[in-house]
Structure formats: C-alpha cells, structure tokens
Amino acid sequence: MTLIDVRDLARTFVVRKRSGRLGRTRTEVEAVRDLTFDIDAGEMVGYIGPNGAGKSTTIKMLTGILVPTSGHLRVSGLEPSTQRTDLARRIGVVFGQRTTLWWDLPLRDSFELLQKIYRVDPVRHRRNLQEYVELLDLGDLLDTPVRQLSLGQRMRGDITAALLHDPEILYLDEPTIGLDVVSKGRLREFLRTLNAERGTTLMLTTHDLQDIEALCDRVIVIDHGTAVFDGPLADLHRRGGSRRTLVVDLVDEAPPIEVPGASTRRVEGPRQWLSFPAGASAAPIVSAVAAAYAVADLSIQEPDIEDVIRDIYAGA
Amino acid sequence: MLYAAVAVRSFRRFSTYRTATLAGVFTNSVFGVIYSYAYLALWHQRPDAGGYDATDAVTYVWLGQALLMTIALWGGGTTDDLAERIRTGDVAIDLYRPVGLIGWYLAGDLGRAVYHVLARGVLPTILGLVLFDIALPASPLAGAWFVVSLALAVVTSFAIRFLVACTAFWLLDQSGMRMLSGVLAIFLSGMTLPLVIFPEPLRSIALALPWASYLQTPADIWLGHRHGAGILAGLALQVLWAAVLMAVCRAVLAAATRKVVVQGG
C-alpha cells in the first residue's frame, strides 16, 4: 500500500539580494524540482543528501507546513498543505536538533499535554506511555524538567512524544546527532523494533551513514532538489563500484605488492593498502599475498558508503 | 480540556520564578509611591482634572502598577515565546501539531495573566490601600464588571502582542516592532497619564483605540466613573476591538504559514 506518493514535486523560493545602492534583484531558487518517489507502508527509508540538497524542504512539504509550488503530493491519502491538521494526527516528527517537549515542564507533563493535543484515548495513552517508558528507560526521568535532561535523555523523551498517538509515519531528522555510540546503538535498536512490531513507516534524514546501514533497506539520495538515486543499499554500493581494502603489514618494507585480482593503492613503510572489488572473495588474495611475502598482520576494511555517496554527489 | 491544561501549566511555569515576582512587586510599589506624590501635586493644582478627584487619581496609579504585568503592557507573556520560536524556526514544531497556534498561545497567556494578577496585582493594591487609602470598587457588581473588563483587556493585549510576534515571520525578529508597540501602549493605555486628562481631540481618539482597554476602561469601572449603560458601552467597545484584532491575527497567521518559509533546516 502506497503511503507517501510524490509526483513531479517542485518548490521554488524567491530570494531577494541587494544590488547596487537601492535596488534589489529577485532570483528564483529551485529547492526541489521533478521529485518523484513513493513509499509503502512499513518501509524504512533513508533520505540523504548534502546540506542544502532539499531534504528539509521535502519533509516540510510532506508534513504540510510548506506549500509545494507544483506537483502531486499525497500522504496517507491526504493533501498535506490543505489537510495539515488531519495529517498531523497520523504522523510523528522527531528532530535531533530541536525538541518537541516543553522546556520548563517535567517530562510527564509534556506527555499529558500531548495526550490532550492528539486526543488519544486515555487507556491507549497509558498503555503506550508505559510501554515506551519501559523500552526507552525513562522511568526515573518523568518528573525531571526537560531543560535538565541530557541530550540522550531528551532524545528518548522526544521519540516517546512523537509516538504516543500511534502515528503511521515517523519522520526522523538527524535523530542520532550528538549522541554517544551506546545511545546511538540503543536508539537504532528501538527504531528497528518499532518498525517490526508496529509496522510504523520510518523516513530518516541523516548525515550519519551508520544510521542508514543499520536501519534502512532503501535509500533515496537527493541532490540539487531532485532524486539522484532510489533503491536498496546494496545497489548503492554496486552503483558506486565500491571496493574493499586489504591492509597488509609486512615484516619489512617492500615495493608495491603485485597479486592477481587486487591493486595496491598506497604504500607507507611496511604497510600497504590493496583494493579489490567488494563482490569478490578476499581468500585467494590473502593466500596469494601470504605465499609471496613475509606478512606480520592482515585486516580487511569494508567499503565506505560515504565514499560511494560522495561519488554520486560528484557525478550528479 | 486541552486549553485549560495549557493555561494551568502556563500558570505553574510563571509561578516558578518567585524571586523575580518579589523584585517586581517591590519595583511596582516604589513607582506607585513616586507616581502617587506626582499625581497628588498635579491634582492639588487642578482638583478636578479629567473629572477625577485626588483619591481617584491615586487609586488610578495603584491600579496601573497592579495591572502592569497582567496586561503585559510593554510585551512579554507567551507571545515572546512565539516570537522566539519563529526566529529559531521551532515554530515548525507548533505547526506539526493538530492544534491552532492562536488558541494555544492565548490559553497560555490567560494562565500567565491569572498568575500575574494574583502575584503582581494583589500586593500593590493592598499597599496602596494602606499607604494612600485608595478607593475600592463602589459595589460588588462593579467589582465583577471590573474583572470582566480586565479579562477583555488581556485578550486585546494578547492580540496586539501576537501580531507583533508574527512580524518575525517577515522581519525575522520582533524586537523593533515590540519596542514600537510598547511605546504606543505605555502612552495610549493611559499608564503615564489617565486618558481622561488628555486634551481634546487626543482624548476622544485615545479612548476609541484598543489600548484604552488596557487600563482606562477597567479603571473607570473600578472608580465608578462608568455605571449602568456606561459600563456596557465600555465593555462593548472592548469586545469589538478584541474580536477585530483576533480576526486580524487569524488572517495574518494564515498569510504567514502559506507564504513564509519556516526558518532553519
């Protein structure tokens, strides 16, 4: 079932720049153009792109707080900009850099207000709250004013706040920004569970590609306002022609290693970096190196999705 | 009821700043004493200026000091939160919710006003009573009408402050407009001098403007300068301005959310 339907979506902004002494010139900037994709219920989609690519503009249009200049847009069967209030009851939004909680109020009060805002049935509200408080370990923090929470704690509060009304879609904007490794891991684990158990559709914008690797089966890459890639993560690797790296520490310094199936990219003293296609097996290369050279140590580096995406950005 | 819950939480939020409240009451009281002596000197020269006698004049001073915060004369209140959220782009979060922005902030501001009338209004009034023997409302009914008039004053003031905050959608920051609006309010509400002693035609013009709602109209009901039909006429004008300004708020907000970019990524 298609939940988010985007066809030829465009949004232009008029930017006025000062020119000369009194004059101002108007220029139109296309923040989003020819954007087309659809997302089915239950998908976990990574929406990525460099700064200024149009990610936030897209999310603002999807949630109805920005009116598209042209194109077709339906979310959960509704037209976001004209049916913003109805849509708001069906979606949840989490920002890594902003909070939806009330700064001066204890966490508990924020949750109570949200129950009234979304008119959640009190029984369901209590059940959801209990479940999320337990899953996200918020029990001891309910009476703490939001301003006193750490970033990680506040984030968990924000996630709970976004989910209390059982949204069909959860938009997450840089949800792991600034979190430590443990908190990031726990948050990702929680989102996976949410998607698996409740079937909540997730749309995630992030610069942290580990978020994408850990969560998203599908990636949409946007650049200059339009989608330049849409598909599974594996295809992204393939398209970027990603390669793995074999790092060889030799006993002594040596000229660049020559073995079939790999090429030496870099030599630094006794350490050498050999690159080979991500799809190929490392075993024959490792044995060839070990047979011909005195090897002190070996390690393999997985392809870096960041490099792949950088290539796509550069190519687009 | 959502709006009641918002008002209650806003009341609690403002009540957490106890020291600020005490400092404010002290300041109001000092200004109350200074203004009282200034007004007494003035009314000694012109004993019936604006139809007030000396007791009316001093009572007017203490009412002004007591209501200063409640009517958020030079800005403040929940509309400052709104302006800040527009400036930072956090207003996007308010717009993601299935609740109207105006009702939300008005409810919060009413909760704040109730706190301020209790915490910042009662003590200066008692002090004025003790030090200057100010007049109390002529009858319980006049007292009740005074409360109604004050509620309308808060709504009118809210609408004006909301419009000022909304200028941040276009101007990116409300501070300039807030200052301008504050100066107009101080002068045209009658906080510096009662509107009734303004020379004509300034007097009639000021009395017809929305700022007359802030202090002059409630004070005249308290002092018994309005009674019967006079009270109803005063309240009718207050209702009219409140309704007109709230309608303008709606229109401006609709224009802002359709045309203006919510700031920040």
How large is the average pLDDT for residues A95-101?
85
Phi, psi of B168 (to 5 degrees): -65, -25
pLDDT surpassing 50 at residue A39: yes
Torsion of CA A173, A179, A182, A186, to 10 degrees: -30
Provide the terminal-to-terminal Cα distance of chain B, rounded to the nearest Å.
Answer: 34
Chosen from B15, B80, B96 to mutate, greatest number of chain A CBs within 10 A: B96
Distance CA B132, CA B59 (A): 8
Whether residue B265 lies inside any domain: the answer is no
Which helix (H) or strand (E) covers residue A240, if one does? Answer: none
Give the CATH number of domain A242-315; options: 3.40.50, 3.30.70, 1.10.1060, 2.70.98.
3.30.70
Which ipTM value was assigned to this complex? Answer: 0.77
Check A63 against B257: CB less than 8 A apart: no
The whole-number pLDDT of residue B261 equals: 54
pLDDT surpassing 60 at residue B262: no
Instruction: Of A261-270, B161-170, B211-220, give the lowest mean pLDDT range.
Output: A261-270
Q: B81-137, pLDDT tens digit by residue?
A: 999 988 888 888 888 888 889 999 999 999 999 999 999 999 889 998 999 888 899
Q: How confident is the model at residue A240 (pLDDT cuts 50, 70, 90)?
A: low
How large is the average pLDDT for residues B23-42?
92
pLDDT surpassing 90 at residue A125: yes
Write out the residue range of the structural domain in which residue B47 sits. 2-259
Q: How confident is the model at residue A31 (pLDDT cuts 50, 70, 90)?
A: confident
Which residues of A sit within 8 Å Cβ distance of B? 13, 51, 55-56, 60, 63, 65-67, 84-86, 88-89, 91, 93, 95, 98-100, 102, 104-105, 109, 112-113, 116-118
Check B93 against A93: CB less than 8 A apart: yes
Nearest to A89 among B2, B9, B98 (CB): B98
Q: Of B182, B167, B15, which Cα lies nearest the Cα of B82? A: B167
pLDDT surpassing 60 at residue B260: no
The whole-number pLDDT of residue A241 equals: 66
The whole-number pLDDT of residue A315 equals: 63
Rg from Cα positions in chain B: 19
Nearest to A113 among B5, B257, B258 (CB): B5
Is the distance from CB of A152 to CB of A196 less than 8 angstroms? no
Record the pTM.
0.82
Look at phi and psi of residue B245 and say left if phi exceeds 0, alpha if psi is from -120 to 50, else beta: alpha
Q: A193-237, pLDDT tens digit by residue?
A: 999 998 999 999 988 878 888 889 899 988 888 888 888 887 877
Residues on chain B touching A108 (C-beta within 8 angstroms):
none
- What's the domain count of chain B? 1
Distance CA A135, CA A129 (A): 10
**A-contacting residues in B 8-27 (Cβ below 8 Å):** 9, 13, 16
Task: Put the strands of the sheet holding A263-268 in their side by side order.
Answer: A263-268, A271-277, A243-250, A295-301
pLDDT surpassing 50 at residue B264: no
Residues on chain A touching B96 (C-beta within 8 angstroms):
63, 65, 88, 91, 93, 100
How do strand A218-223 and strand A44-48 relate by DSSP bridges?
Answer: parallel
User: Which carries the bigger pLDDT value, residue B58 or residue A82?
Assistant: B58
Check B258 against A13: CB less than 8 A apart: no
How large is the average pLDDT for residues A128-145?
89
Check B5 against A116: CB less than 8 A apart: yes
Burial class (CB in 10 A: 0-12, 13-18, 19+), B120: buried
How large is the average pLDDT for residues A276-287?
84
Whether residue B14 lies inside any domain: the answer is yes
pLDDT averaged over chain A?
Answer: 86
pLDDT surpassing 70 at residue A65: yes
Query: Architecture of A2-238 per CATH?
Result: 3-Layer(aba) Sandwich (3.40)
Nearest to B6 among A55, A104, A113 (CB): A113
Q: Which two tokens stand for residue B22?
A: 């005490």
User: Which carries the bigger pLDDT value, residue B250 or residue B49?
Assistant: B250
Task: Put the strands of the sheet holding A2-18 in their side by side order.
Answer: A24-40, A2-18, A70-75
Distance CA A173, CA A170 (A): 10
Is the distance from CB of B213 to CB of B153 less than 8 angstroms? yes
How large is the average pLDDT for residues A151-179?
89
Chosen from A82, A100, A164 to mutate, greatest number of chain B CBs within 10 A: A100
Min Cα–Cα distance to chain A from B96, Å: 6
Check A105 against B95: CB less than 8 A apart: no
How large is the average pLDDT for residues A58-76?
89
Distance CA A219, CA A47 (A): 6
Instruction: Give every CB contact of residue B140 below 8 A, 6+ residues apart in sequence.
Output: none
**A-contacting residues in B 76-135 (Cβ below 8 Å):** 89-90, 92-93, 95-99
pLDDT surpassing 80 at residue B177: yes
Min Cα–Cα distance to chain A from B97, Å: 6
Distance CA A47, CA A55 (A): 7
Residues on chain A touching B9 (C-beta within 8 angstroms):
102, 105, 109, 113
Is the distance from CB of A16 to CB of A26 less than 8 angstroms? yes
Nearest to A98 among B5, B93, B258 (CB): B93
SS (H, E, C) chain B: CHHHHHHHHHHHHHHCCHHHHHHHHHHHHHHHHHHHHHHHHHHHHCCCHHHCCHHHHHHHHHHHHHHCCCCCCCCCCHHHHHHHHHHHCCHHHHHCCCCCHHHHHHHHHHHHHHHHHHHHHHHHHHHHHHHHCCCCCCCHHHHHHHHHHHHHHHHHHHHHHHHHHHHHHHHCCCHHHHHHHHHHHHHHCCCCCCHHHCCCCHHHHHHHCHHHHCCHHHHHHHHCCCCCHHHHHHHHHHHHHHHHHHHHHHHHHHHHHHHCCCCCC
Check A104 against B1: CB less than 8 A apart: no
Q: Of B140, B122, B129, which Cα lies nearest the Cα of B222? A: B140
Whether A2-238 shares its CATH topology with A242-315 is answered no
pLDDT surpassing 80 at residue A18: no
Instruction: Give every CB contact of residue B192 below 8 A, 6+ residues apart in sequence.
Output: B186
Burial class (CB in 10 A: 0-12, 13-18, 19+), B146: buried
Q: Which two tokens stand for residue A48?
A: 């990525």
Q: How confident is the model at residue A122 (pLDDT cuts 50, 70, 90)?
A: very high
DSSP secondary structure letters along A8-40: EEEEEEEEEEE-SSS-EEEEEEEEEEEEEEEEE
Torsion of CA A219, A222, A223, A228, to 10 degrees: 70
User: Which carries the bigger pLDDT value, residue A29 or residue B3?
Assistant: B3
The whole-number pLDDT of residue A161 equals: 92
Which helix (H) or strand (E) covers residue A290, if one does? Answer: helix A283-292
List the domain boundaries for chain A. Answer: 2-238, 242-315
Nearest to A117 among B13, B99, B257 (CB): B99
Which helix (H) or strand (E) covers residue A271, if one does? Answer: strand A271-277
Instruction: Give every CB contact of residue A308 below 8 A, 6+ residues apart in sequence.
Output: A236, A237, A239, A240, A242
pLDDT surpassing 70 at residue A287: yes
Check A117 against B97: CB less than 8 A apart: yes
Distance CA B192, CA B195 (A): 9
The whole-number pLDDT of residue A127 equals: 93
Residues on chain B touching A116 (C-beta within 8 angstroms):
1-2, 5
Q: Of A102, A151, A155, A156, which Cα lies nearest the Cα of A129? A: A156
Asked whether the CA dihedral B99, B100, B102, B106 is positive or negative, the reply is: negative
The whole-number pLDDT of residue B246 equals: 96
Percentage of chain A lying above the pLDDT 90 cut: 27
Q: Of A72, A309, A106, A96, which Cα lies nearest the Cα of A183? A: A96
